[in-house]
Amino acid sequence: MQNGRAQSNTGSVELQKIVLIVDPQNSQGSIIKQMIESNGHRVLLAKDVEAAAHHITNSPIDYCVTELRFEDGTGHDILRLLAVHHPACRTIVHSQYCNISVAVALTQAGAADVLPKPMSESFVLAILFNEDIRRFSEQPCVPAPNAVREEHIRQVLISCGANVSRSARSLAMHRRTLQRMVDKSPMLRAVLR
């Protein structure tokens, strides 16, 4: 393989796409990485903005999937770097920290789409590669908005050590509002036990 090209069995030369995944949670054995590589593409992994910047300035990047928050910056930093070095790169923000105003700001900054976690890897890749997603309409891979919201709140509660006040601040929500939601949801109440 040379210059990002892979030789196929038929003798024709096919372009290998390079996908950057920027997420503190992703590892070499992640499902999304394996799925991309099984389609013949190359994956670069970064756990923070600094590592992503290294890849962006030293490698060609065709696609990018990024989280929103990092210890050393945000997804906005990733989008700015890609706009400078790889303006044709198609970028998806896949994050647990999404809301409507954040999604609008990210798309204005150049993100092709913003997807809340959790979302199935196959759906994320279909959006990333701009494939027809009608095949997902009959499958339960796209969770209901309330389920996504509840799972997001559960993850924030866990990350804040089940502290309702800290979780409410992190969610930009009033503490009493969050407490009412916890009281109504067995899944959220289980985190506080």
Supply the mean pLDDT for the chain: 82
User: b/e string for 138-159 if b means 16 or more Cβ within 10 A?
Assistant: eeebebeeeebebbbbbbbbee
51 or 153: which leads in pLDDT: 51
Q: Do the Cβ atoms of 175 and 168 come closer than 8 Å?
A: yes
pLDDT digits (tens, 9 = 90+) for 149-162: 788 888 888 888 88
What is the rounded average pLDDT of the residues 179-191? 86
From 1.10.10, 1.10.8, 3.40.50, 1.10.1200, which CATH number describes the 145-192 domain?
1.10.10
* pLDDT value at residue 29: 72
pLDDT digits (tens, 9 = 90+) for 64-105: 999 999 999 999 999 999 999 999 999 999 988 877 788 888
CA angle 85, 37, 69 (to 5 degrees): 50
Closest by Cα among 21, 56, 67, 58 to 41: 21
29 or 71: which leads in pLDDT: 71
Q: Where in the chain is the domain with CATH 3.40.50.2300?
A: 5-136
The yes-or-no verdict on residue 2 having pLDDT over 80 is no
Q: Where in the chain is the domain with CATH 1.10.10?
A: 145-192
* pLDDT value at residue 101: 81
Four-CA torsion 37, 39, 40, 44, nearest 10 degrees: -30
What is 5-136's CATH topology?
Rossmann fold (3.40.50)
